[in-house]
Structure formats: C-alpha cells, structure tokens
Amino acid sequence: MTEADTGPDPASSIQRRHAEDEYAAELAALAASDDPPRPPGWKLSPAAVITYLLGGTTEAGTPITPKYIGQRRLMEVAVATLATDRALLLLGVPGTAKTWVSEHLAAAISGDSSLLVQGTAGTPEEAIRYGWNYARLLAEGPSAAALVESPVLRAMSRGSLARVEELTRIPSDVQDSLITILSEKTLPIPELGGERLARKGFNVIATANDRDRGVNELSSALRRRFNTVVLPVPSNVDEEVDIVSRRVAALGRSLDLPDLPPAADEIHRVVTVFRELRSGMTEDGRSRLKSPSGTLSTAEAISVVTGGWALAAHFGDGRLRAADIADGMVGAVVKDPASDRIVWQEYLETVVREREGWRDFYRAARDIR
C-alpha cells in the first residue's frame, strides 16, 4: 500500500462532512459577533443558534444559510429546552428533518455532532452507558484504562450534547438506562467504585418516529425527562419545494455532480405528486385519492430528485426532465407491488393524464413496468 492509501483523506474526498466542518465558516462568523450571554458550555448564544438554524446575516454581514425551513417557534422551544435540565425529543413522521435538526443543534451548541447513539432493536445498554476492553479487563481487572466510554459518557465528560437516534426502536430496558443520567446528571460506575458527573453543557437530543409508537414506548419516568417538540411536514408546496431544492443542491455539491440547469418545474412536480398521494387529495381539493403504503416524505422527494439529476448528468443531456424523475418516483410510491401499483396506476390515469403540461411525465411513468 502506498502512503496515499494509508494517510488521512483530504477534506475534498470526504463524501459527507459533519455539520460543524461543513459550516465551520458560518459558525466562526456567528461566534465572532455573538454578544448575548451563552449558557455554560455553549459555543454560541441561543439567539445565534437560531440564526444558524433559520438563516440570516451576522453583524459583519456574513450570510448564514438556513438549515431548517419551518416554524421559528419550534426551533426556539428546542433551543430553550437544551438550555435547561430537560432533554429534547424531536418527534415526527419520517422525512421531517429530525436527524438533520439534531445534528445542526449539536454542531452549533457543542461544536461536535459526532457523539451519536444509533437506536436499533439490538442496541445494547453499553451503547448508552459504558463497556469494557475485555483484553485489558482480564489482564488488569476493572480500571479506568479498560473502560470503553459510550458517546453519552463522553458527552458528559466534555459538557457536550449527545444524540440518540430512533429512541423508540431501542429496547425499553436499555432506554431506561438514560433515566439516572438525565435526572441526576451522573452515571454510576460500580466496578470502579465511583461515578462520572456531567459537566455543564451536557444534554441529550433524541429523535423518534411517531409511526413507531407501540414498538418500544417510552416509560413514563423517561418521558418526563424529555421535552417533546413535534416537527411537522412542510405546510405548503412552496416551502417543501424550497427544502428539496436546497438539500438537492447541497447533495449535488458533496457528490460532485455536474452543475444542474434550473429544474424548479420538475422539483415542483415531484413535490406535488408526493403531497397529493400523501394527503389523499389533489392540490385543488376536488378529488380524493387512495394513498400508497409508503410515507412519501420530503427526504424521499430529495432522493428522487438527486437520482434524477445523476441520470440526467450521466445518461441524458444534462437537463432534468420528466423521464429522469419518473423511475425514482415509481420506486418511491410502489413499495408494495400488489396494492401500491394499483394506487399509482389510478393516480396516473385520473390525475396526471388530465393535468395540463404533465403529458411528458405521464408518458414516461406509464411506460415503466
């Protein structure tokens, strides 16, 4: 292997950088002109965190790009929660930017969004508390050197935010290992005859999919430790188009896709189809529709447009067209080949076929089998 194979990768080769690295210039500009008081351990004041999330300009005129497009008050409640002793639970349907908001909150407040526990049905208690290096444990016995800190324990030691993704997918007994951490701000380590006390600035941001209710419900004791903020789907077409356009542009840059000519019409078309099938009603409110089994979230719309962009760039003429998004659209809608295929065909024939200016999309989608 050459040195290039084993050495650190340059930043330009990283497929997706952490938020604190991608937006380091914006965070530095905000910190430089951030006069309001900051809670202990915070890199920015709450007001500056809101500017970072929702966009604006610094006092020096540096533009700050919006990271979240939606209700300002929801973000203010989320940021204010993290300045208290309550943890934050971001709840919503898939694709409502829960993970995105969680990452950017951690980046702006702690300067580190990497202290992450990914929740699954197999997440062990060690992922939240601590584990052991068993080779050292057998050789030396319990010691600080043999202790393997979880992301939550590292956050406690540093006075940072820890992130827990998909909290309700974690088994209930493992979830409850957070109770003492959140209420007492301490983690007992009986094997070492001591405990780890959280430094000021420590808190937890968790996310949960409200479609997972009933999988592993939070205990009442744990739920009391969280302040819940529900992130809604975008309120209108224009807002969702704006979100999709911004995220697609950012993804295109990170993937080094060729520049995409203006494609607002095609993005609007994707968003319109998703919103209509998601709500079970056409945009004009005149016709009721059957909804497919999938969520048809904003995140999936972003994926459809990004995939269409790649098709147009590498196999088309470089301009996003109906045929480029049709395949991705069908793949997003038809999750269950039996029932969803019927819903999709009915939508094509009763809505898309009759819609002015959509003939090209109708032909492209109709021909996909």
pLDDT at residue 351 in the model: 94
To the nearest 10°, the Cα dihedral for 235, 237, 240, 245? -160
pLDDT at residue 369 in the model: 65
User: Is 288 in a helix, a strand, or coil?
Assistant: strand
- Residue 117 structure tokens: 């526990």
Same domain assignment for residues 155 and 171 = yes
pLDDT at residue 2 in the model: 44
Query: 3-state DSSP helix/strand/coil percent for the chain, to nearest 5?
Result: 50, 10, 40
Residue 116 domain boundaries: 3-123+150-230
Q: Could you tell me if residue 167 is inside a domain? A: yes
Give per-residue pLDDT as tens, 251-284.
Answer: 888 888 888 777 888 999 999 999 999 999 998 8
pLDDT at residue 263 in the model: 84
pTM of the complete model: 0.88
Same domain assignment for residues 243 and 162 = no
| Domain endpoint, select from 196, 214, 230 | 230
Same domain assignment for residues 119 and 190 = yes
Same domain assignment for residues 85 and 221 = yes
Query: What's the number of domains the chain is made of?
Result: 2
Q: Could you tell me if residue 24 is inside a domain? A: yes
Same domain assignment for residues 79 and 107 = yes
Q: Could you tell me if residue 131 is inside a domain? A: no
Q: Could you tell me if residue 67 is inside a domain? A: yes
Same domain assignment for residues 14 and 96 = yes
| Domain endpoint, select from 177, 211, 230 | 230
pLDDT at residue 284 in the model: 86
Q: Could you tell me if residue 143 is inside a domain? A: no
Same domain assignment for residues 224 and 241 = no
The segments of the chain whose pLDDT lies below 50 read 1-4
Alpha helices in 43-141 (DSSP H): 46-54, 72-82, 98-110, 134-140
Same domain assignment for residues 222 and 247 = no
- Please, which residues have CB within 8 angstroms of residue 71's CB and are 6 or more apart in sequence? 232
Same domain assignment for residues 48 and 160 = yes
Q: Assign residue 54 the CATH number of its domain.
A: 3.40.50.300
Same domain assignment for residues 113 and 197 = yes
pLDDT at residue 3 in the model: 43
Q: Could you tell me if residue 106 is inside a domain? A: yes
Same domain assignment for residues 69 and 176 = yes
Q: Could you tell me if residue 137 is inside a domain? A: no
Same domain assignment for residues 63 and 106 = yes
Q: d(Cα 8, Cα 21) in Å, to the nearest integer?
A: 16
pLDDT at residue 308 in the model: 93
| Domain endpoint, select from 230, 249, 283 | 230
Q: Could you tell me if residue 134 is inside a domain? A: no
